Amino acid sequence: MKIAVCVSQVPDTTTKVKIGPDGKSIDPSGVTYIINPYDEFAVEAALQFKEKHGGETIVVSVGKDSNKEAIKKSYAMGIEKGIHVKTDVEMDSYAVARNIADLLKEINPDVIFFGKQSIDYDDSQVGSLVSEMLGIPSITVVVGIEVDGNKITCEREIEGGKEVVEATLPAAITTQRGLNNPRYPNLKGIMQAKSRPIEERQPTYTGNKTEIIAMTLPKPKSKGKIVGTDVSAVPELVKLLREEAKVI
Amino acid sequence: MGKVLAFIETRDNKIKNSGFETASAAVKLAGETGSEAVAFLIGSALSGIASELGAYGIKKAIVTEDQRFEKYSTTAYSKIIAQACKESGADVILLSATSMGKDVSPRISAKLEAGLVADCTEIKVESGNIIATRPVYAGKAMVDVKVCSTIKIFTLRPNVFKPVKVDGVTTEVVKVTPDISDDDFKSQVKEIVVNNEKLDVTEANIVVSGGRGLKGPENFHLVEELAKVLGGAAGASRAIVDAGWRPHSDQVGQTGKTVAPNLYIAVGISGAIQHLAGMSSSKCIVAINKDKDAPIFQVADYGIVGDALEILPVLTEEFKKVLSN
């Protein structure tokens, strides 16, 4: 089995977003970057898949030099091989997916794991785009996986419930919180990750299908009303919600 | 003249509310771009439901039925939506950014080599160009996006685009036979497991969320009771999901669900930046927290500074009283 996992590097969740000088992206100064949290579930899923069914694991990342950190984190968790498609060009989901798809055509994996979305652009597109480009089925927002021969059965989260989805391998899976508990890298893993080489590639595709023309911050809210400091404020609060806000 | 193809999502052969939202958005966009809105429905036994779209201004609906469409299939649905786009000559496709819309739309994008803007909260037309606005960083910022390809795809965040009723429109319903084979069902939903009919936080008009201030999982029922009285859904902060009090499917925030209900009540939640990102676009926010300096009060419209465990039962009773009158 060849098991691929795709990762990206994103600002951490405590980041306070400031708009950069170009007016189209965030100001990266002072921002801490981490592996996309949903990708950690994907890496863990790839490792568990290998542990159950055997095979080799490979991690792919498209983006700036800093994306190497996401590959190293995957190494530290146990992924064996990594390829970085290095680009300083801002790529949209379509362009990222094309680069991944071009690369994976060479590798021909049996299963590909992605985080269900990256927490920067929240696009939820790359995993599905890549699988369509490769002509294989995709199952997104997955919280449970079972494999029987070349049949894969997943639970995916939907509004107010779950769908049980069946597909045949090769397939792409996008992972949701709840699927597993990503392992913590041990010291040996971290040390090995430092010296393990990362293969570097040039992008094969750079044409974006979408263009960001402006980034803005949401309008700040005007200061709310503190209705009171104990239970005696409850009737007043309910009255305001009915008569002023008219939401009840 | 171009066309705006609106994919209308159905469940159990009924149009979902998000389907009416998509229909209205398509009618509006078609009006602004001088094109025609065409609805597209997929199902196994849709009978006459497409004609309901007339009330939202849809003059033409294409319906495709097949026994195999009874349950959702990513591969088959994406194929026939792309087909419908080509056959109808549409240059814009609108879908709702629901579980299904988010799942199917990128595959249509890849098939048609068309740019996709996901989870839009506004679509406007400026000097002939369609500009979509969407949140990024879970709502910490917004971007305006233009699509460079001839065919343009947009998914619309549920609950943001309101269905608008119009008078005097009847829908011409055209049935088409899908060009599809068993091979196109490479992925297939076998079963849907509903969470005890529990309302999802992303679909509720009112959300009551609890956090650490509840002091323990045994007190979460207080949040659920208030949500029930209000006909809403119960949500949770990341802290209590991480602590194992609640399932991750209840989590509101940057690594959980993004919600925008009419009323959001945060109980015992301090308002970490990643939580605020997931709920601050709610129309009215109420915060109950004992720390008057908690960040949640900065986004709240109304607040009570106090102990969540004391205030919650009283609040539930008060709503019960008022709502029964």
Under a CB-based contact definition with an 8 Å cutoff, are residues B23 and B57 in contact?
Answer: yes
- Architecture in CATH for domain A2-201: 3-Layer(aba) Sandwich (3.40)
pTM: 0.93
pLDDT value of position B203: 86
CB atoms within 10 A of CB B302: 23
pLDDT given at position B247: 92
For residues A140, A141, A144, A150, the Cα torsion angle rounded to the nearest 10 degrees is 10
Calculate how close chain A gets to B172, using CA atoms only, in Å.
Answer: 31
DSSP A57-112: EEEEEEESGGGHHHHHHHHHHT--EEEEEE--S---HHHHHHHHHHHHHHH--SEE
pLDDT the model gives residue B99 = 96
Q: Mean pLDDT for each consecutive 10-residue tract of chain B (325 residues)?
A: 94 92 98 97 92 97 94 97 97 97 98 98 95 94 97 94 95 94 96 84 94 97 97 96 94 92 97 93 95 95 97 97 90
Beta pairing partners, B126: B129
Interface of B with A in 284-303 (CB under 8 A): 284-287, 292, 297-303
- Pairing status of strand B14-15 against strand B10-11: antiparallel
Smallest CA-to-CA distance from A100 within A73, A122, A69, A67 is with: A67
State the nearest Cα–Cα gap between A228 and chain B, in angstroms.
5
**Running DSSP on this structure, what letter comes out for residue A233?**
G
The CATH number assigned to the domain with range B206-324 reads 3.40.50.1220
Model ipTM value: 0.95
- CA distance linking residue A134 with residue B44, whole number of Å: 29
Contacting residues for B168 by C-beta, under 8 A, at least 6 apart: none
3-state helix, strand, coil in chain B (%, to 5): 35, 30, 35
Separation of alpha carbons A55 and A2, rounded Å: 6
CB contact under 8 Å between B187 and A228, yes or no, is: no
ω into residue A170 within 30 of 0, thus cis?
A: yes
Question: Cα B222 to the chain's mean position, in Å?
Answer: 27
pLDDT of residue A222: 78
CA A100 – CA A129 distance, rounded (Å) = 10
A:B CB pairs within 8 Å: 278
Each residue of A166-194: pLDDT tens digit?
Answer: 999 999 999 999 999 999 999 999 999 99
pLDDT for B198 equals 79
Q: Which residues of A touch B135 (CB under 8 A)?
A: 122
- The pLDDT score that the predictor gives to residue B246 is 95
Helix (H, G, I), strand (E, B) or coil at B107: helix
Put simply, the answer to whether B143 touches A122 (Cβ < 8 Å) is no
A229, containing H or E segment: none
Domain residues of chain B, as ranges? 3-184, 206-324
CATH architecture of B3-184: 3-Layer(aba) Sandwich (3.40)
User: What does the alpha-carbon distance between residue A112 and residue A7 come to, in Å, rounded to a whole number?
Assistant: 11
Per-residue pLDDT of chain A in tens (248 residues, 90 and over written 9):
999 999 999 999 999 999 999 999 999 999 999 999 999 999 999 999 999 999 999 999 999 999 999 999 999 999 999 999 999 999 999 999 999 999 999 999 999 999 999 999 999 999 999 999 999 999 999 999 999 999 999 999 998 899 999 999 999 999 999 999 999 999 999 999 999 999 999 999 999 999 999 999 988 877 889 999 999 999 999 999 999 999 98
- As a dihedral over the C-alpha atoms of residue A54, residue A55, residue A56, residue A58, rounded to 10 degrees, the angle is -90
